[in-house]
Structures are given as C-alpha cells and as structure tokens.
Amino acid sequence: MSRTRRYYIAFVGVLTAFALAACSEAPSQPLRVGINPWPGYAPLFLAAEKGFFADEGVEVELVELSSLADVRRAFERGQIDGMASSLVEVLDADRNSDRAPMIALVADYSNGADVILSKRSITDIAALKGQRIGLEPGSLNRFILARALDQGGLTMDDVEIVSLPQVGLQEAVEAGTVDAVVTYPPISTGIEQTGLVAQVFSSADIPGEVVDVVSFNRETASRRSSNIDAFVRGWGRAIDAMRADPEESYALIGRHIGMSADELEEAYQGIELISADRQEEFLRSRGPLANGILSLSAILWPDEADEDTRAVGRFFGESAYVSWTGSE
C-alpha cells in the first residue's frame, strides 16, 4: 500500500474518531497551535484575545512562527499540538513524521488572495516560460504555480524555481533576481506596493482548491476531543465578531500579522472565511477538502497518484467520512 493511500485511510478514519472518542477529562495544559502570518486563519488571534476560547472551556496558546515551513517543522518535532496551515503541510507532516495530523477545522479558502506576481513585461502565464519563479519550498506555493502553469499550457520543467522564504521575496523582486513570485498577504501587499509587478494569476482562477485548515496530531485528537470541539466553537464566535465589528477586529488582527485595517479589508475580499456552522459544507464527501487533497497528491506525488486517486475518490464517497459529516 502506497504512502498516499495510507494517508487517506488514516485521514478518514480519524475524522470518525473525532465524533466517537469518549470525552476525557481535559488536561490542564493549553492546546498549543502554531500559526504564521496569513489573514485566513488570523481570526484565531481574535478568539484568543477576546476570550472566546476560554469562554468555551479550552485554553489555547497560539505559537507565532514566520512561515508555513516553520509551523510544519514545529508540529513534526512535537513542539506544538496543532497547526494552522494549508493542506500541503498536512500531507507533508503525515509523510515525513510519526505525528499524524487530523483536520479539526476548515478555516478558509483562498479566492484570489494567493497570487503570482510577475515583472510587468510578463503579461500572461504562457510568458513565464524560461523565467525565474521565486517561491517558498515545501509549501502551497508549488501547488499554486503548478495549477497556473497547467492553465497556461506549461509544466514545472518550463520554468526555473528559485527557493526563497516568503520574507525574502520582496527583496528578490527589487533586486531583479527573480522574474515572478508566488505569494500571499501580507508579503504580496508589500511587493505590489513597489510598482514593479503585476498579477498574472490568483487562487480565484482555481476556486475552492486552496483550502486552509487547523489540524491536531492523532493523540490530541482522541484524548482531547471535547477541547477541540470548544476550539471550533471559539473560532465560530471570532468569525461572528468580525462580521459584527470589523473595524475593531481588523485592528487587533493586524497587530499580529503586520497589516493595516485597510490592507486587511482588501485582503479579505479574496479570502472566504468558513464559520463553524459551515464546516459540514466543506468536509462533505467530494467537497472542497476532499478535492483539494486529491489535486494536491496528484501534483506533489504524481508517480503514486493514478490508481490511488481513483480508489480514494470512491473511498470518500462511501466512507465513514460521509457519516461523520452527515453529507452525501
């Protein structure tokens, strides 16, 4: 059995465990959740500072890290219980460590916030052929680029990948050492403000495929299921608070991720936040989460994808995943 297929079996099986695990006495230590600067799951900061997690009966410590790669490494090393991340980090952590990440919450999907910015002489994706593309290795950036190139009739072999941390992309653009970058707010905001680039692709071109989640390791998922339920409720209250008072919410969130209220308001035009009462919509069989995992696996591990992808498609349709969400 391939590692890809084992991932899906484990992933679906433990989702059922969330519903079936008996509630045990809540440990005194907080849930430690790693998070990097990204507006999509930044409402977690609001939930923590406004006391929503505490009100729901769970203590949460948000561990702020500079990149998705740092978040994944901290999770794999056991330094945090959970991580706010894209699906790429979930799949990578499962393959590269013995800490199986189990998805508890779909935070958002990107509907235009993840972008490819290129120098102004490049006007479409096809013109990226032979160009130097800066992106953060081992992250969702690679998936974004692969999907964009496919739409332009290109492959990853047609471009030169320049591996850079997100925080180094603007400097590379200004120095002219890359011709385009794959990025997201707040980094993309600063790069666009240089006036050196134009947008040639965004996640709006692949709607519903770029999903961000909060996941916890298997042991935490089974031992602290009631705490995780409370965590999801706290998230839901944060989304409600943002809608009721965006000005206050954006000011608080902006202090954590380095964006002004105006910049956040613009960024959220391209991000669909998923409230607690909409989780079933995204966790259902053949929904955005399942489709995103399938698409990612096909791109990241093409040698393993063919037969497993078809089998996984059928598996999601008839599995405990469906009964856990109550969706067909």
Domain ranges of the chain: 3-109+209-325, 115-205
| pLDDT band at residue 5 using 50, 70 and 90 as cut-offs | very low
β-pair type (160-163, 132-135): parallel
Q: What is the mean pLDDT of residues 162-189?
A: 95
Q: What percent of the chain has pLDDT over 70?
A: 82
The reply to whether 115-205 shares the fold of 3-109+209-325 is yes
Q: What is the mean pLDDT of residues 139-156?
A: 91
Q: Does 326 score more than 60 pLDDT?
A: no
Q: Does 224 score more than 90 pLDDT?
A: yes
Place of tokens 């990578």: 92
Q: 34 with 101: CB under 8 angstroms?
A: no
Q: Does 325 score more than 80 pLDDT?
A: no
Sequence length of the chain is: 328
Q: What is the mean pLDDT of residues 14-32?
A: 57
Helix (H, G, I), strand (E, B) or coil at 173: helix
Q: 233 with 57: CB under 8 angstroms?
A: no
Q: What percent of the chain has pLDDT over 90?
A: 59
In whole angstroms, what is the distance from residue 242 CA to residue 252 CA? 10
User: For 23-33, b where at least 16 C-beta lie within 10 A, e where not — what string?
Assistant: eeebeeeebbb
| pLDDT band at residue 281 using 50, 70 and 90 as cut-offs | confident
Place of tokens 């005194």: 28
Compute, in degrees rounded to 10, the torsion defined by CA atoms 62, 184, 75, 60: 20
Of the listed ranges 37-46, 117-126, 304-313, the least confidently predicted one is 304-313
Q: With a threshold of 0.85, does the pTM exceed it?
A: no
The CATH H-level superfamily of 115-205 is Periplasmic binding protein-like II (3.40.190.10)
State pLDDT tens for residues 52-106. Answer: 999 999 999 999 999 899 999 999 999 999 999 998 888 888 888 888 888 888 8
The CATH H-level superfamily of 3-109+209-325 is Periplasmic binding protein-like II (3.40.190.10)
β-pair type (31-35, 60-64): parallel
Q: Does 3 score more than 70 pLDDT?
A: no
Q: Does 213 score more than 60 pLDDT?
A: yes
Q: 111 with 268: CB under 8 angstroms?
A: no
Q: Greater confidence, 305 or 165?
A: 165
Mean of pLDDT over the chain: 83
Q: Which residues neighbour 60 within 8 Å (Cβ) at sequence distance 6 or greater?
A: 30, 31, 33, 44, 47, 48, 53, 231, 234
Identity of the residue numbered 119? K
**Phi and psi of 274, rounded to 5°?**
-105, 110
> Pick from 2, 74, 103: which is nearest to 321 by CA?
103
